[in-house]
Amino acid sequence: MPPIDFNGLNTQVHGPVRLGALTALTVDGPLDFTTLRKRLDVTDGALGTHLLKLEESGYVQCKKAFVGRRPKSTYKITAAGRNALRKYLDAMQAVINEVRNAKA
């Protein structure tokens, strides 16, 4: 039996907040910070930390603007982020298939 390959599980994508952010940005398109925070039901600090990591990885872009006197950050997934998410999902699907096809 061949070993299960976990190497495709990108640690920059893996994790509920990062995976959730990339998924929401893929499904919904660009979202502002507040909308994304509500969509994922996380705190400002948790979301900010994970979005910064995704931004540093080149997986999301942030556009900052002012609406009236209030700052507004809008995030969108990049081509690299979309590719990383697809590869991650393919790797997870392979693991799922192994488990479903296991003879117990």
Percent of the chain beyond pLDDT 90?
66
Mean pLDDT value across residues 56-75: 94
Write the CB contacts of 24 (distance below 8 Å, at least 6 apart in sequence). 31, 36, 39, 40
Domains, in order of start, for the chain: 16-97 (1.10.10.10)
Q: Decide: 21 and 39 in contact? Cβ < 8 Å.
A: no
Tell the residue number behind the tokens 């997870």, with chain if given. 92
Q: Decide: 60 and 25 in contact? Cβ < 8 Å.
A: yes
Mean pLDDT value across residues 15-32: 96
